[in-house]
Structure 1
């Protein structure tokens, strides 16, 4: 599933390519036909992201809410676009560019009230300027739940996926099984600041980069075209810092990676 930086990159791209002008909107697949008809030809006023949720705000106070889920993806073309291929849920066509959305978990029309209700259920987004880390700290500091679980809980904070979860905990020497209430405020402040920096790098670069330059050595990445990681998808391989074998487990149905020495507590 795409992590939060991917959605922010999409929002910025859509704002740049479609914002401030009328957009032709259709649903070649047919599953968003009524919604597309409501916004077809309207001006896209703003595209923005909240964690893993993408919002397209049109004039007349109509909003398209998109959640890519595991399989959702946008594919772009210059205008004129080719005929749709496959199950295209949403097609947007602007003056110079068009984009097709396939396979999202959600693509639906929201009102302002529905958006407010959605955002009320979500924790702060580290990439947004209006994020309040204290909102997340209030939940973490009172919880006996493992910090590795809390970081992935969208009610606590949003946009953090499996890669950022594993890497940020390693960078701060925090065992993923440690209860949230056992973190102190200074640890949380440092983790939050680092998370903001790393996720903003992800927005700028279009990929997750978590290794400090002085640690960027040793074996290659976990996949072709992927940057090196400290622990993510490195189970059984030596820690880049201490040489200990990286461990793997499953936490809340998601793969978990950590170093038992560098993250002993």
Structure 2
């Protein structure tokens, strides 16, 4: 009898998983199909073509590379700021640390449009900054920094690095040595997890970017929205296909790197203990 219930639960769980997966992936597959069809309203009988993909690449290739540049710049900045910030919050817990962490997560709670408007009011009068990609990078850093800090801090707390830091200090290691030789390597799984989150959020961020961008600093999601609004359905769908082809390999690569880093870190930690 328990075996029957177990098989029923397994089949029910598998069925629910397949239904949810089909619900999520189905619209994406239909959109991709539309981008490869000569005439979507006629259907597949009209034939398949790569003309729409070529047209998207000719019109919007600059938005793709710009999005990659913004994501990498955002990742570099959040790493340089977020890792030390996470270590300080871990090293000095208390009310002040909790208050700082809450203030740090404020841009996540506030709508992206409100954050973008605040940046425009504060720095929009600086002409060179307002018309540069750096303005978008600043907005993305404000939006993604809390995710980096929380991921890295979770890794630091799980590894009990405060104890290791104190032990290294008693052996005469300087604060710089302790940070780069002990803290950063031990927290690398959290750093990689935060990096994965930052890159994917930055590439796909639209609300904040839409208000901060100019015609010369358009990113991939903004270009995607522009194609939906001004082009025929096949072009917009082809843009979705290009978006997936550019994003999925990056996500898979980062996931693989995160899994490998976590596994290597576990082996190293086990060997050291």
- In the superposition, the TM-score normalised over structure 2's length comes to 0.22
Structure number having the greater strand percentage: 1
Q: Which has the higher contact order (CA 8 A, sep 6+)?
A: 2
